[in-house]
Amino acid sequence: MSQKLTIRDLDLRGKRVLIRVDYNVPLNTKFAVTDDRRIRATLPTLRYGRDKGARMVLMSHLGRPDGKIVEELRMAPVARRLGELLGHSVQYTRDCIGEDVLRHSKELRAGDMLLLENVRFHAEEEKNDPDFAQRLSQLGDVYVNDAFGTAHRAHASTTGVAKFLPAAMGFLMEREVEALSKILKNPERPFAMIIGGAKVSDKVGIFENLIASLDMLLIGGAMAYTFLKVQGLSVGKSKVEEEKLDLAKELLSKMEKRNLLLKLPIDHVTASVSLKPSPPTERFVRKKEIPENEFGYDIGPETVKGFEEALSKAKTVLWNGPLGVFENVLFEKGTREIAEFLAKQKGMTTILGGGDTAAAIAQFKLTDRMTHVSTGGGASLEFLEGKVLPGIAALTDKK
């Protein structure tokens, strides 16, 4: 990837700075933000802009309104929460384009912030419509993309606008690119990857892209049961991707040829009922194989011990995907104990993917004790697969 402009390279004083942020945050029934991590992650960029005398126009999506106005997905609660975090009011408009919005952007004073309405209320956003992008671009003199979580989407507000304005990355985007690039280019060794989550198919790109540079691979989560079934072990009623058994077999063969240290679960936390319609209230610890009438929901204590022993030798750890159903207190222990172990290590670089991994670490209140926790689930996944992210590619190259 060629070097891109950053916000430091722009003259911001008195300029209208159009900033793409990722404020796709959860709201409760009272329309209050329940998790503001993504908002907090952009504060360094916004404070820098304010210090430099910029007039900032922020745009984001919220949820999936599919090109229609959905009252429950308006950005007003987000504007309120952002104002609370910054300690000053943030202005808000009930649309993201139009003459009134344009006039509002021109009336901003140095240090002011204006949050636009949900860009996905317009179907043209996800279609990357050039006319819509051009209308958005009229709201700024320069463009800053600080929304890593949407960098893998070629939408009007993430790539289209960059065709009309000088385009740079904000501090959040810069941190993400630097942290993930180091993993791809020059990880300090030994280099370990912990991979979890539901599906082998979701992570095959990371396997393929990183397998040549890994020293050890630890597999947990529901995807582990597909690999264990390939090895001939009983996994009971656990989630298995039957159509991906051949793929799992092929991946195991590649790991063996690489002489990679591979760790799969050797014991399991199980329950005799499905997670739905009502969650289990019981748990069992099973060695090696799972009885045919039980579901595997977490790695067991012996697996945790083996994982920790392997990780104690690592200098760099990349973690993508939880190791169990961490949302349920009965099945969070495996993910929690590995997270707590990593948090205690000195001199270790710990890079965690976004999405469920970031949610788990936040639940355990360990985010600040990791080297880097990504704000992007799909974006971090695609970046680590070696793909070019449209939202980064569209930014202006440094001369």
**Strand 295-299 with 316-320, pairing:** unpaired
Distance from C-alpha of 389 to C-alpha of 399, rounded to nearest angstrom: 21
Sign of the CA dihedral 149, 21, 34, 177? positive
Question: What's at 355, amino acid-wise?
Answer: G
DSSP reduced 3-state for 25? coil
Asked about 182 being catalytic, the answer comes back as: no
Which of these is catalytic: 63, 83, 111, 378? 378
Residue 50, classed as helix, strand or coil, is: helix
Residue among 318, 308, 312 at smallest CA distance from 192: 318
Q: Is the peptide bond before 190 cis (omega within 30 degrees of 0)?
A: yes
Angle value at C-alpha 27, between 161 and 34, nearest 5 degrees: 110
Answer yes or no: are the C-beta atoms of 49 and 175 closer than 8 Å. Answer: no
* DSSP structure class, residue 362: H
Q: Is residue 355 annotated as a catalytic residue, yes or no?
A: yes
Q: Which of 221, 355, 377, 391 is catalytic?
A: 355
140: nearest Cα among 111, 155, 159, 162: 162
Residue 285 contacts residue 269 (beta carbons within 8 Å): yes
- Out of 15, 16, 38, 229, pick the active-site residue: 38
Gap between the terminal Cα atoms of the chain: 14
196 catalytic residue (yes or no): no
- Nearest C-alpha neighbor of 267 from the set 200, 343, 324, 312: 324
Q: Residue 199 catalytic?
A: yes
- Give catalytic residues, as residue numbers: 38, 199, 355, 378
